[in-house]
Every structure is written in C-alpha cells, then in structure tokens.
Amino acid sequence: MIAKIIPIKRLPLKFSYFDYLVPDALSGVIRIGQLVHIPFRNKTDFGMVMALDDKSEIETAKLKPIEGIVFDTPLLSNQIISYLVEISEFYRAPLGFVLKSSLLPLQKRKIKNLANLPALPVNPAHLPQKPELSCYSNEREMMKLLCDNLLGDGQKLILVPELYQIEKIRNVIPDNNIYTFTGEVSDKEYFDLWIKVRSEKNITIIGTRRALFLPWINLRVIALEDEGNPNYKSWDMAPRIHTRDAALMLSKFTGAKLFLMSHSPSVESYYFAEKNVYGKNIIPIKIPANDLVFVDMAAERRSHNYSPISNDLLEAVKTSAGDSYLLINKYGSAQFVSCRDCGFVFRCDNCKRPMTYFDDNNKKLGCHFCKNEFRLPTGCPECKGFNMRFSNLGTDGVAAEIKQLLGDAAPKIIIINKMDPNSLAKLAEPAGISVRGRSGIYCSL
C-alpha cells in the first residue's frame, strides 16, 4: 500500500505530496488525516496522510517506509482536508504550509496531550447551501440579525474584520460556550482552543480570518460581519486569502450556512444577490436617473482645469443648501511621488509598494502596509534632480484642493482617515468637511 503524505512544513509549491511505503504492520490501521512520522531528507519529520493508493508513479523499491503513526485518531476530518487542498490550489500556497497553519505547534512536550482526542464524529452528508446576504441600517438591527442567524445546535463561527468589534458582539450573543480567536492569542490559548474545537460539537467562536483554519467537526453556521470591509483581504501573512472567498469554500465542504452581513455590501456580493446566486434580505438600491451627472475629466483638462475636482462638482458643493458627500478611498496628500526627469518612484524598502506622501509639518512618506516612514528628500536620489511629481491625490490632497478653490468661502475641514470609533464620532460634528479615508468626504456647509 502507498500513502500520499504531506510533510508539515513550508516547501516549494510543486513538492506538496510525497509517496511513502506503508509497512505491513500499519496497513490495517493507517487512515487519512493521521499524523505520522516519516523520513524526510536526513531526519525524521511529521507528516499527514492525505490519500491511500495501491500504486505509485515511482518504483516501489525507491520509496521510503513510514516510520510510525503518532496517533491512531485522525486530527482533521476529510472535509477540512479537502478545504485546505482547495485553499492551497486557489491561492497558490504550498499545501504543507497551509496544513501547518491549521495544526497545533508540534512540540514534543505538548503533543502528548493530543493522544486523548475523541474520534471524529460521523456527520451525515450535508449539501452546500446558498449563502445569504443581509443588510442592516443600525447596530441594533445588526445584533438582532446576528442572534437570529445563530439559532440551533452545532459549531458556529462569527468572523469580524477588526479586533475592536469582537467584544461588542460577544456581549450580546446568548451563548455561554463562546470563545474568541485572533492572531494575538498566545500559543497556550491556541492549543487549548484548538482542542476545544476539535472535541466539542457545540461551540461558538468569534474571531478574525485565522479562525477559518480551526479543526471544525460540526460547523453549522458561518456569519461574516461587515462583509464589504477591505480588512478581510490578507496582505501581510500567507496564505494571502480573501476571508469572504475562503468562508465560501469552508461552507461548501462542511455544509455550513454562510450569512454575509453588512450595512454597505461589497459590489460583488450585491451583484450575486441580485442575480439570485446568493439568497438576499436587502432593500434594492434605486437611484433616480435624473440625479446622476457624468463628468468627462478629459474635457475638464482640455478646458485647462487640472484639478481632481470638476467645475460642476465644485459648483454643486458651493451652492448646496445642505450637506455634501464626496467619495474617495485613499488617504494622504498623494498616493506616490516620482521624479519627472528620470521616472524614479519612492517605494517601501520591505514591500516595494509606492509610498504615500503626507503634506504635514514633517513632509513624510509612509507605507500603509509596513508602517515604514521617512522624511521626503529634497531631491531625487537617482538623478539628484528637483522636478518632483505628486500624483493621485488622497484625502489630504483633496481637502487642500477644496481650501484653495473655495478660498475664504471654504468651510471647516476635518480629516478622518480610518473608520474606528473615534473617527466615527467626528462625523457627528455639526459643521465642516469630513474626509473619510476608506469611504469619502463628508461636506457640511
């Protein structure tokens, strides 16, 4: 018998599976999902059995035998293994690395505690369920919607994009067996929670995208709060998944019902709901055609208006009797700075992304992702020229442009660059222009 085994370590993508020979003494007890000892290179390492077969593309005489089974009980169910394989293939991440993300730290001192894990339950086959998109207009509606979706037995997963939302939701969930799981938990907390999820059929977890890789055995509900939030995209840690898409995959393999909840759904989710790919509990968005005005910015340039604000928009803001709201999804004064002479662009030393320019007292360049900052040099480091271009204005740049265009008639301007509770409180101020980095510019004239 041949076992296809994945070493639990990060390897090149093309080296996911390795064939090993199953000794006769183990042929009757080896199963998919078991943790085994395998010879790998010049030492013994951990691996997980992913498939069993009677033949291999490699000659049997060249195959190394499995050294032993660590635990008779499989650590992961077939459904979770299939889910991890799909994550690996979809995001082009090494399967061994994805598998390592879903397992405990395999330390000799702690691994002994896994010997008492119960056998995996035999759950009836569940067909994939259609996701449902639900919208709410305030926090009270969101909490009621969330509690209604969590009714029933089984394991439940609530995903949030930011940490500050966890405690607020936890306080209203009518469930005593509820735990939080984020990237900030210690190894001991991770170890204890991993065993709870692997052992208890009725448990509720509130967490960030890392909770998608827990060893679910009876997952019945996945609730994705604020599903349109850009923080659901992983940019700093492999595998670089989109939490919404990964939740869809987990729902497909476990049969769990996926609820997408938001006050402002993403374009993709709204489109799929409108086309009945998703179930929906939303109010259709209807915008009167007479209220839409399309502006040709190329024509604005030809008329010598080189501002990012068109003449029609500026006039509408000036003559508005009430509030105005200008959408923009970037913050800072300029999204990148380049040299007009040689084309050099200031980039982050770590991630190589263009640095955002902040026109404050420090005249600094900053990276949104790596949080690197440094003062803008007086000239180009390549050609030593001084002809610099500040391109693609952000919230600070647009706010400065409004001040310059309106002059003395410009209202008070408030810059809000992140949607945290303190920034939201600023929107309640009675006057001023509020620039919201991820959503827009709120103008109260």
Q: What is the CATH number of the domain that holds 12?
A: 3.40.1440.60
Q: Judge contact between 74 and 30, C-beta under 8 A.
A: no
> pLDDT of 212-229, one tens digit each?
999 999 899 999 998 888
User: Which segment of 24-38, 75-89, 356-370 scores lowest on mean pLDDT?
Assistant: 356-370
Q: Let me know if residue 122 belongs to a domain.
A: no
Pair 196, 273 in one domain: yes
Tell me the mean pLDDT in the region 143-158: 87
Report how far residue 99's alpha carbon sits from residue 10's, in angstroms, rounded to the nearest whole number.
Answer: 9
- In this structure, the answer to whether residues 57 and 169 fall within a common structural domain is no
Q: Does a structural domain hold residue 101?
A: yes
- Count the residues in the chain: 445
Give dist(CA 186, CA 57) in Å, integer: 43
Is the pLDDT assigned to residue 442 strictly greater than 50? no
Same domain, 323 and 401: yes
Q: What is the rounded distance in angstroms from the CA atom of residue 355 to the CA atom of residue 369?
A: 10
Give how many domains the chain has, as a whole number: 3
Residues 240 and 304 in one domain: no
Residues 438 and 345 occupy one common structural domain = yes
Structure tokens at 347: 């980039």
pTM: 0.68
- Domain boundary residue among 116, 144, 162? 116
Identify whether the C-beta of residue 162 lies closer than 8 Å to the C-beta of residue 209: no
**Boundary of a domain, candidates 281, 301, 333:** 281
Distance from C-alpha of 362 to C-alpha of 268, rounded to nearest angstrom: 39
Which of 394, 390, 401 shows the shortest CA–CA distance to 418? 394
Query: Considering the chain, what percentage of its residues have pLDDT values greater than 70?
Result: 86
Q: In terms of domains, do 312 and 268 share one?
A: no
Using alpha carbons only, what angle is made at residue 142 by residues 141 and 146, rounded to the nearest 5 degrees? 115
In a domain, 123, yes or no: no
- Give domain status of residue 286, yes or no: no
Are 345 and 416 in the same domain? yes
Q: Classify 116 as helix, strand or coil.
A: helix
Mark whether 219 and 272 lie in a shared domain: yes
Assess if residue 126 is contained within a domain: no
pLDDT(321) > 90: no
Q: Are strands 178-181 and 132-135 parallel, antiparallel or unpaired?
A: unpaired
Amino acid at 326: L
402 backbone dihedrals φ, ψ, rounded to 5°:
-65, -40
CA 157 vs CA 152, 197, 226, 335, 444: distances in Å: 13, 11, 14, 37, 40
* Of the ranges 102-106, 255-259, 284-288, 351-355, the best mean pLDDT one: 255-259
What phi-psi label fits residue 363: left (phi over 0), alpha (psi between -120 and 50 degrees) or beta? left
Regarding whether 396 and 374 lie in a shared domain, the answer is yes
On the question of pLDDT at 58 being above 50, the answer is: yes
Kindly state whether residues 332 and 424 are assigned to the same domain: yes
Residue 125 lies in a domain: no
Averaged over 132-150, what is the pLDDT?
86
Same domain as 38, residue 159: no
Domain enclosing residue 92, as ranges: 2-116
- What integer pLDDT is reported at residue 86 of this predicted model? 93
Domain annotation covers residue 325: yes
Nearest to 358, CA basis, from 367, 350, 345, 369: 367
For residue 418, what pLDDT is reported?
52
Q: Give the domain CATH number at 237.
A: 3.40.50.300
**Ranges 69-73, 255-259, 397-401: which has the least confidence:** 397-401
Of 53, 86, 116, the last residue of a domain is 116
**Do 398 and 426 fall within a single domain?**
yes
- The pLDDT of 178-186, averaged and rounded, is 87
Secondary structure class of 121 (helix, strand, coil): coil
Tell me whether residue 127 is in a domain: no
Q: How far lies 108's CA from each of 53, 89, 104, 402, in Å?
A: 30, 31, 11, 63
